[in-house]
Amino acid sequence: MASINTGRVVVGGLVGGVVANACDLLLHLTVMKDDMAAMAQKFGTDPAAMQSMSAVAPWIVVDFVLGLLIVWTYAAMRPRLGPGPKTAVIAGLTLFLAVTAVVYGFTSMGMMSMGAFGRGSTTELVATVLASLAGAAVYKEA
Amino acid sequence: MSRVNGGKLVAGGILAGVVMNICDYVSNNFILAADWEHIARIRNVDMADMSSTSSLVTYVVVDMLLGLLVVWTYAAIRPRLGQGPGTAIVAGFMVFLAQALLMASYAVSFLTWDVLIRGGVLMLVSALAGALAGGWVYAEEDSGD
């Protein structure tokens, strides 16, 4: 069994991270804009603070680390599931489900409305699948 | 390459889910109880909602699903990394890392950094314990385990 090509994981992860960041930026400025404002009001957080660099920076870093994790997961699953976009989507969905389960738990605690959860999860699903496909397209084994 | 053993996946996932439920119950109701009360107070969340039966049931179901997900991940990466507790720990860590990244992105708006760190450490313990238990049950017919 060949070992994971770390160099390609990093390159693919960066590509996946760029795609995830682009999707998140677009979706948070459009689909989730009102939900984010409502959450800021509910939590008593200054909306300006939520859009500040100190609030946005974790999201950017998180998307890049998530991109690396998705491509590493894709690489780890390849011997079982085979190379290609189908395995890339499965790798992304595996991590998406882990994240969404926690968000659903937060929703049940009253953190956000079910509507916001539905919109947020759907948009994150799109972002994750696109990031997975982009990152995995770059990954190759020697 | 043999296929994933669906029966053992379910059995391992249920055991992992039970272990994760026990870990999370102890974490959230005892170790982090004061932290959650603090978060509810500063974020205008009704403590009754946070500790309601529907919330509790949701978390039980969520942990069972996470248990299945951890064992699925273990089964999917086994051919690459080999069978055994080392691979189970990797699978648990992968699921934990995805969750921790999400929580980190919420740290500014909902959680606080100290709760994030304490909660993250306990979440890691839960994920690894679940993965080790689930991975211990999971077996494939042609792998000799």
pLDDT digits (tens, 9 = 90+) for B2-35: 789 999 999 999 999 999 999 999 999 999 999 9
- Smallest Cβ–Cβ distance between B107 and the set A49, A58, A101 belongs to A58
The structural domain count of chain A equals 1
Enclosing domain of residue A105: 17-138
- What's the pLDDT at B52? 85
User: Which of B24, B145, B73, B4 is closest to A76 using CA atoms?
Assistant: B73
Residues of B in contact with A103 (CB under 8 A): 102
For A100, phi then psi, to 5°, come to -65, -35
- What's the pLDDT at B142? 66
Domain contains B144: no
Q: What is the ipTM of this complex?
A: 0.90
Interface A-B, measured as beta-carbon pairs within 8 A, has a size of: 119
Can you list the alpha helix ranges (DSSP code H) found in B82-138? 85-106, 113-137
Q: How many CB atoms lie within 10 A of CB B127?
A: 30
- What's the pLDDT at B26? 96
Enclosing domain of residue B44: 6-137
Q: Per residue of chain B (145 residues), give pLDDT as tens.
A: 678 999 999 999 999 999 999 999 999 999 999 998 988 888 888 888 888 888 889 999 999 999 999 999 999 999 999 999 999 999 999 999 999 988 887 776 778 888 899 999 999 999 999 999 999 999 997 665 6
Chain B CB within 8 Å of residue A48 CB: no
The rounded distance, in Å, linking the Cα atoms of A18 and A31 is 19
- What's the pLDDT at A51? 74
Domain contains A9: no
- What's the pLDDT at B119? 92
Domain contains B145: no
Asked if A59 and B59 count as a contact pair (C-beta separation under 8 A), the reply is: no
User: Which of A63, A65, A43, A61 is closest to A53 using CA atoms?
Assistant: A61
Q: What is the residue type of B121? A: V
The rounded distance, in Å, linking the Cα atoms of B123 and A2 is 32
Residues of B in contact with A90 (CB under 8 A): 76
